[in-house]
Structure 1
Amino acid sequence: MNRIDVIPSLVLSGYALGRIAAQDAGNDAPAAQWRILNLLEQSGPKRVGELAAAARTTQPGMTRLIGTLERDGLVLRSPVPEDSRAIAVEITAEGSSALADWRTEFRDTLAPRFAGLDDDDWNTLTRAAEILAAHTAIESTGAHR
Structure 2
Amino acid sequence: MTQLDLPTVIGDLISVNHRLTRLAATVTGNTESPAVWRTLSVLRDLGPMRLGELARVSRVTQPTMTKLVHALDERGWIRRVVDSGDARAMLISAHPHGLAALDGWRSELAQSLAPTFADLDDGELETLAAAVEIVRTRLERSRAALVESASSTGPVA
CA distance 1:23–1:117, change in 2 (3 Å)? same
Q: Work out the CA distance in 1 between the residues paired with 2:63 and 2:130.
A: 38
Q: Equivalent residue of 2:90, what SS?
A: strand
Output the amino acid matched with 1:29. E
Equivalences for 1:3-42 in 2 at 5 Å? 3=5, 4-42=7-45
Q: Equivalent residue of 2:119, what SS?
A: coil
What's the TM-score, normalizing by structure 1? 0.88
Q: Equivalent residue of 2:87, what SS?
A: strand
Q: Equivalent residue of 1:57, what SS?
A: coil
Structure 1: gaps (5+ residues) = none
Q: Equivalent residue of 1:46, what SS?
A: coil
Query: Which of 107, 110, 123 is matched with 2:110 structurally?
Result: 107
Q: Equivalent residue of 2:8, what SS?
A: helix
What residue number does 1:69 align with? 72
Residues 55-107 of structure 1 show CA distances to partners (whole Å, capped at 9, x for unaligned) of 12222221211111111111111221221332211111111110111111011
What's the TM-score, normalizing by structure 2? 0.82
User: Is the CA contact (8 Å cut-off) linking 2:80 and 2:93 kept in structure 1?
Assistant: yes
- Counting matched residue pairs gives 143
Q: Work out the CA distance in 2 between the residues paired with 1:54 and 1:123.
A: 32
Q: CA RMSD in A?
A: 1.9
